[in-house]
Structure 1
Amino acid sequence: MARSTTSMKKKSYTRYSDAYRQEALALADRIGVAAAARELGIHASQLYQWRSKAQFQQDTSEREQSLAEENARLKRQLAEVNEELAITKKAAVYFAKSLK
């Protein structure tokens, strides 16, 4: 559980590693946010912020995946329409020649 401290003027900030945050969130899921915060010596609001940020990142990943799936579907659909258009053009040329 690594943490590093950086100082800016009068305030001191502690930065927690991603692994520490994940472990803290797992602990909060097991024993509750308030108990986990007391055990880790941090504010419960910090755990809630970490949880909402993790949820947002997960939602973003799901959104990106659904957009990628839709993009692939639309590309397939466009290829099919282009193929149908090419066939229609060839047929139009063929029938135009046979009419002359």
Structure 2
Amino acid sequence: MTNTKTRIKHTEEFKEQALKLAERTSVPEAARQLNLHASQIYGWRKNARKDSASEREADLAAENARLKRLLAEQAEELEIVKKAATYFAKHLK
């Protein structure tokens, strides 16, 4: 006779509440209160941090792209001003 357990799938809301509880108390205490393994809460916390880090990286990449475009525009404008200054310097003499 095999002892098979069905896997329980917890909702995202449950995971968030468990993580909040773990922040207030501790991971082992939260696991004990919720009848979970502490490793589950540690895994959820790791995934939550990874998700927030990837969002932060995406925001930084978008900001980096915006700043690169702005820098390219500024460089182009500076080049135009340099050419204009050279042109007027030659023609004022």
TM-score range for the pair, normalised by the shorter chain length? 0.7 to 0.9
SS at match of 2:9: strand
| Residue in structure 1 matched with residue 76 of structure 2 by the alignment | 82
Which letter maps to 2:48? A
| Residue in structure 2 matched with residue 36 of structure 1 by the alignment | 30
Mind listing any 5+ residue stretches in structure 1 that lack a counterpart? 1-9
TM norm structure 1: 0.72
| CA–CA separation in structure 2 for the residues paired with 1:91 and 1:36 | 70
Q: Does 1:61 align with 2:41?
A: no
| Residue in structure 2 matched with residue 19 of structure 1 by the alignment | 13
State how many pairs are aligned: 88
SS at match of 1:12: coil
| CA–CA separation in structure 2 for the residues paired with 1:93 and 1:13 | 77
The structure, 1 or 2, with the larger RCO (C-alpha pairs under 8 Å, 6+ apart) is: 2
What's the CA shift string for 1:27-85, capped at 9, x where partnerless?
A: 01111111110111111000000000001111111111111111111010111223334
Mind listing any 5+ residue stretches in structure 2 that lack a counterpart? none
CA RMSD of aligned residues (A): 2.3
Larger strand proportion of the pair: 1
Which letter maps to 1:16? H
